[in-house]
Structures are given as C-alpha cells and as structure tokens.
Amino acid sequence: AVCSMGNSTSRLYSVLAKTLSSGAVSQHQDCLEQLDSARLDPLDPKDLLEECQIVLQKRPPRFQRNFVNLKKNTASNHRPIRVMQWNILAQALGEGKDNFVQCPMEALKWEERKCLILEEILAYKPDILCLQEVDHYFDTFEPLLSRLGYQCTFFPKPWSPCLDVERNNGPDGCATFFLKERFELINSANIRLTAMKLKTNQVAIAQTLKCHETGRLFCIAVTHLKARTGWERFRSAQGCDLLQNLKNITQGAKIPLIVCGDFNAEPTEEVYREFSNSSLNLNSAYKLLSPDGQSEPPYTTWKIRPSGECRHTLDYIWYSQHALNVNSALGLLTEEQIGPNRLPSFNYPSDHLSLVCDFSFNQDPDRLL
C-alpha cells in the first residue's frame, strides 16, 4: 500500500486524489498509524484552496455569506478567536441512508464533495474547527488539516450507522481542530454520553486550551446528540450529562466555555432550555443575529427527504457570556441561495449550514457571574 500523502515536490492535487478509497480505513490501519503528521511537509492554504477549485471548476461557485458585526464598543487587546461549527454530512450516510430525493447522486461524489467542504473551511480560516459526522477523518481531514497547522482529535460513535452502509469508510464521529500556533492543549476528554445512567451511541470531545496571546484558559467542546422525533427526553438526558461533565472540566464555569454541536433539537426542546438555564451561564451566539437578540435563526438545516421537506434549527454555538464576547457571526444562506431542491447540492456539500463566530475575552475576567 502507498502510505505517502504527498511530498514537497508533488502537486497538492495528488494529496487530494490519493485519499484512501471507500471502506479502506480498517484495511489500511497500519499505514494510517505510520502517518506521522509532524513529519509531513506543511501546506500553504492558498495552494490547497487553488487545488480544490481546480477539482470544482465544473461546479457552480461558492455561495457568498457575510459576517455581521456584533461588537458593542468593547475594546479587545487580542486578536479574535474564530470558531467554526459544522455537521459536514457523513459520506456513507449521504450516499446510502439519508435519501436526499432532490439531490443528484452526482453531487454527492466524495472526490468533489470533499473539496467543497475544504473550500468552505479554507474560506473562513477558523482558529478552531468543530465537526460532526466525520467519516473521512484518517484519510482526508487529519492528513490535510494537520499540515495546515491544526492539532486534530477524533472520537467516533461506538455504533456508527455508517457501518451499516456497504463500502463505508469506517465510523463517523466528532472531531476538533485547533491551530497550534495560537493555542496549547492543556487537557482533552473524550466523553461517551449517558442517558438514564446508560451509555449511549452519542459522544463529545472537550478540550481545555491556553491562548498563547493572552495566557487565558478556555474550554472548547463539540457534540452531536441523538437524532429523530420521539427522542426528546433522551436528548435532554444526554444534555444533562454533557453539562455535568463540562461543569467539572471548567471547575464550575471558572474556565470560559464554548460548546459547538448539532443538538438535533429545536429551541423549543427541553435540552435547549437546559443549556440556556445552566449554571455555566451560557448563551447561544446565533441569537445575537436576531433584531432583539433573543431568537434563533429560522433554520440551520434544510433538506427534502421522501417524507417531505425538513427545515429546522438544530445547530448551535454556546458560549460563556460572562467571560466571552461575540464580535461577529457569519450570516446564513438565504432561501434563494439554497434553491428549491434544498441541501445538499452541487453548490453546497452538506444538509447543515456552517456556523462561524469571532470571540474575544471579556477584559474583566474576575467579573461576578
């Protein structure tokens, strides 16, 4: 087996083209373990973006989205921390289980769809990236993003539905990526969520980071709660378990917290209220885009399945409002941009929209909660 992900003399296209074939992860585990990211040559993001655009030249151009400035005249003595949250749609589910009846199978081809995903990430240049439904971690995201300067962590679901799909690429799970030049990893915890004292199939990652520029500690967490109608109490129990874990990790909110996730829950659900009313003093960043600062966006996912059209708000970026300020947030795609066939599409690689926020530390960290 060829283990190389490219070298300094090869064009980046060879890196994109040589990702392991579908279903190959388990067969190439020895090869993957030999891929020491520290020894691979760094990539220039501009070069990688150019290579993605070559692959995508027959597709429509990226949608344009603008950042909304939310800063309230609060001075900051450090660069903002850009956090990106995204359920990227597991390849095995997109092709095999999710039944997007208005999306042509041609639009879901991994060789092109992965470039759309990378293009979106490269366009917004997050300092911290939190992803769900990652089933191409070892052959695509870890090799490429580590060479862009990110430290990468992956925690798969114990019983991923991807494994039920023929020619799958292994289990899907949650993943975090942070720029090593900006942050130092202090502690990392992989959390298998429980509900009614039973271990579940849903997971979370929580990492305590130290910001090099400010010396401040903060915790970044990512999760993906149980899907489907009828599982509201289950999601509520998972949310309670995650909050308890995060209270311990943040020492009862002494360490600022950002939680990214696909909660599979509308704002009307109990798990949303649990996060809103938690002693961790969390607020949902995307509420700040509404005129009154109190309403979530009308949708973060929009798809058409055999059962009909699904338009829901399920994805969130929660943050410690006593310790962090939201400087700006990326506006959502409009209905016109999304189009009548909804998502995913030739224009956009996932059925969920990416969320991106710029955070700064409150200048008075000892302020009472």
92 lies in some domain: yes
Written as six digits, the tokens of 32 are: 């993957």
Tell me if the pTM is above 0.85.
Answer: yes
Angle at 363 between CA 357 and CA 365, to 5 degrees: 100
Which region among 20-24, 107-111, 234-238, 295-299 has the lowest average model confidence (pLDDT)?
A: 20-24
- C-alpha–C-alpha distance, residues 143 and 5, integer Å: 7
Of 49, 82, 54, 297, the C-alpha closest to 178 is 82
- C-alpha–C-alpha distance, residues 311 and 342, integer Å: 9
Concatenated DSSP letters for 278-292?
A: -TT-EEEGGGGGSTT
- C-alpha–C-alpha distance, residues 245 and 204, integer Å: 10
Edge-to-edge strand order for the sheet containing 355-361? 67-69, 324-330, 355-361, 81-87, 128-134, 173-179, 150-156
Which ranges in 207-297 belong to alpha helices (H)?
Answer: 232-249, 270-276
Largest CA distance in the chain: 58
Tell me what the mean pLDDT of segment 61-71 comes to. 92
- The pLDDT of residue 23 is above 60: no
Helices (H) and strands (E) in the chain, counts: 9, 15
Q: Which helix (H) or strand (E) holds 95?
A: helix 91-96
Tell me what the mean pLDDT of segment 58-76 comes to. 86
What range defines the domain where residue 120 resides?
81-330
Of 78, 177, 74, the C-alpha closest to 122 is 177
Tens of pLDDT, residues 252-296: 999 999 999 999 999 999 999 999 999 999 999 999 999 999 999
Contact 114, 140 (CB under 8 A): yes
- C-alpha–C-alpha distance, residues 156 and 134, integer Å: 8
Q: What is the CA radius of gyration of the chain?
A: 20
Give the DSSP letter of residue 304: E
Which region among 62-76, 124-138, 328-342 has the lowest average model confidence (pLDDT)?
A: 62-76
Look at the chain and count its residues: 369
- C-alpha–C-alpha distance, residues 57 and 61, integer Å: 8
Contact 241, 195 (CB under 8 A): yes
Contact 325, 362 (CB under 8 A): yes
Distance between terminal CA atoms of the chain?
56
53 lies in some domain: no
For position 254, which CATH number holds? 3.60.10.10
- C-alpha–C-alpha distance, residues 368 and 326, integer Å: 19
> With bands split at pLDDT 50, 70 and 90, how would you rate the model's confidence at 96?
confident
52 lies in some domain: no
363 lies in some domain: no
Q: What is the pLDDT of residue 40?
A: 75
Average pLDDT over all residues of the chain = 89
104 lies in some domain: yes
At 9, which amino acid appears?
A: T
Question: What's the gap between Cα 255 and its chain centre?
Answer: 22
> With bands split at pLDDT 50, 70 and 90, how would you rate the model's confidence at 363?
confident
Which region among 35-39, 49-53, 240-244, 351-355 has the lowest average model confidence (pLDDT)?
A: 35-39
139 lies in some domain: yes
Of 362, 126, 130, the C-alpha closest to 256 is 362
**Domains in the chain, number:** 1
184 lies in some domain: yes
- The pLDDT of residue 153 is above 80: yes
11 lies in some domain: no
